[in-house]
Structures are given as C-alpha cells and as structure tokens.
A and B are shown apart, each in its own frame.
Chain A
C-alpha cells in the first residue's frame, strides 16, 4: 500500500515542543499500562470505576492518553488494580 502523508500536518508535528512530546508520551504510556492491566485482569472500565468510587467517564478520560495524572490518582489506581501503574528506577 502506498504511504500518504500530509505536508501541513507534518509541518505542525515538527513544531511540537520536546516538553509537550515528553509529557504526552508519559500520559500515553500510563494509559496503555492501565488498559493492559484491565485487560489482563478481565476488568471493565465500569468495574474499575465502581472499585474506585469514580464515574466511568473519569476512567475513560484516563485511558485517552491525554490525562495529566497526579501521584495521588496514580496511587489510587495502583491500589485498585493491585499492581503498580508506574515504576520509578531506584539508585539503591
């Protein structure tokens, strides 16, 4: 199949700052991780919402990959899922 790219879109992409890209990649990877744990455990977004006392719409916002997570929320999600969502490398 022929690959098609749009010059204007590519021009806009080239202007994306390193900071925005780094921030976006992090939230995207966290969303991927939550989605993977949900699938592995056979849990639906609704079930996670009930477990956490949240609305289902909030869980779906997290899974868009564009949510700005707080450490508080990440801790809550990890506890509800029974697995760490993020791992910070330790120097010790």
Chain B
C-alpha cells in the first residue's frame, strides 16, 4: 500500500505551500519536479516561468485565477501551465492561502488522461484530496487560515 505524508515547502504569514512525500521518501513530489527540470536546457524558460509564478503565489496568495482547472468538478486539482507550452505542474488549490504542490511534466498528448505519467500525478492528487476531505470530516486535521493543522507525522494510506 502506498503511504503519503505532507511536507511544508514554504510558509509565511500569507500562504503555505505543501507537497506530498510518498512511501517515506524525503524528496517530495514537488522537489522531484524541480530536480527533473532545473537543468533541462530545452524547457528552461518554461520551468523558470513556473518557478516565478510560484514566487508570486508566495507573495500574493494562491488566487484562483492563477490556475487552470485540470481535475474534476468536485476536486481541487489545478495546474500551473503556460499558454501554448507543454510543461505543467499539478497541484491542489485548497484555498487562497493553502496550496499542495504535486509533480508535473511535459504534456505531449491532447489531454493529460492520455499520458500515463501525467494522469498518474493527477490521480495521486485526486486521491490525496479525498483523504484530506475525509480527515477534515473526522476532525483529525483542520484548515486554519494558511495552515493545515494535524499533519505532523501523520501518515495517509492511499
């Protein structure tokens, strides 16, 4: 069974960015995305634009208009993508102040569903979103302004 933990990536008074670590891995999905593309000369411009977009989100909040909806109507899955370019980073936009960053990659197919790797990233986020909703219902985690409370050492089973 796959397990997942939330790791805080960036946090300030305004916003918190988290990412998911699977199966006791110290490297989160977002850090894996950074490591995959940071030295990729072909995608360097796209990668840098996504990085700067995240810097703006840290300054301004995870406003809805910054994202493209990628999942289903009833989940929080969004993407940071660039017009007519292929690189995208998937995430769960929980609120203007809480963003969970997933993994991402180059979209070469018309929809992400046609790409096994990308649809895997989206499905992981959708499953994690469900687990967070359940944990909120039972009260084991709570969302307070810009923080998810109760995630320290919490292991989710996907």
Task: Report which A residues bind B (CB closer than 8 A).
Answer: 1-6, 8-9, 11-13, 15-17, 20-21, 24, 28, 31, 35, 60-61, 63-68
Contacts and interface: CB of A to CB of B under 8 A. Distances in A.
Contacts of A66: 49, 53, 81-83
Chain B interface size band reads 20 to 34
Interface in B7-23: 8-13
Main secondary structure of the interface of B (DSSP, over half): helix
Contacts, number: 72
A16 B51 CA distance: 8
B67 A64 contact: yes
A12 B38 contact: yes
Interface in B53-84: 53-56, 65-68, 81-83
Given A61-B83, A64-B65, A65-B66, A12 B34 contact: yes
B135 interface: no
Contacts of A3: 11-13
B96 interface: no
Contact of A4 (B11, B54, B66): B11
B48 interface: yes
12 contacts: A1-B11, A1-B147, A3-B13, A8-B34, A12-B47, A24-B52, A60-B65, A64-B66, A64-B67, A66-B49, A66-B53, A67-B83
Nearest to A4: B11
B64 to A, nearest CB: 9
Given A20-B49, A66-B49, A15 B38 contact: yes
B43 interface: no
A7 to B, nearest CB: 10
A81 to B, nearest CB: 16
Given A35-B65, A63-B65, A24 B10 contact: no
Interface in B126-158: 147
B45 interface: yes
Contacts of B8: 4
Contacts of A28: 56
A9 B10 contact: yes
B48 A16 contact: yes
